[in-house]
């Protein structure tokens, strides 16, 4: 468990340093997640994806 913690903490620390990129990545992932949610909702409604 300790090994895992150290492995995960170092890359995260590196990511926090470059803030501009992380903010853009966050927006991109949020958009992707939103698109996925919409697609799922459409499928549930029984409409074919465009």
Q: What would the pLDDT profile of 21-50 be if each residue is shown by its tens digit? A: 666 777 778 888 888 888 888 888 776 655
Q: Where are the domains of the chain?
A: 2-45
**Is there a contact between 5 and 11 (Cβ–Cβ < 8 Å)?**
no
Residue with tokens 């549930």: 44
Q: What would the pLDDT profile of 2-25 be if each residue is shown by its tens digit? A: 555 555 555 555 555 555 666 677
**Is there a contact between 42 and 49 (Cβ–Cβ < 8 Å)?**
yes
3-state DSSP assignment of residue 29 = helix
Task: Compute the distance between CA of residue 1 and CA of residue 50 in angstroms, rounded to an integer.
Answer: 45
Q: Which contacts of 46-50 are long-range, i.e. CB under 8 A and separated by 24 or more positions?
A: none
């Amino acid at each position: 468990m300790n090994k895992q913690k150290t492995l995960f903490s170092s890359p995260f620390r590196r990511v926090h340093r470059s803030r501009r990129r992380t903010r853009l990545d966050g927006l991109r992932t949020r958009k992707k997640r939103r698109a996925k949610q919409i697609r799922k909702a459409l499928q549930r409604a029984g409409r074919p994806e465009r």
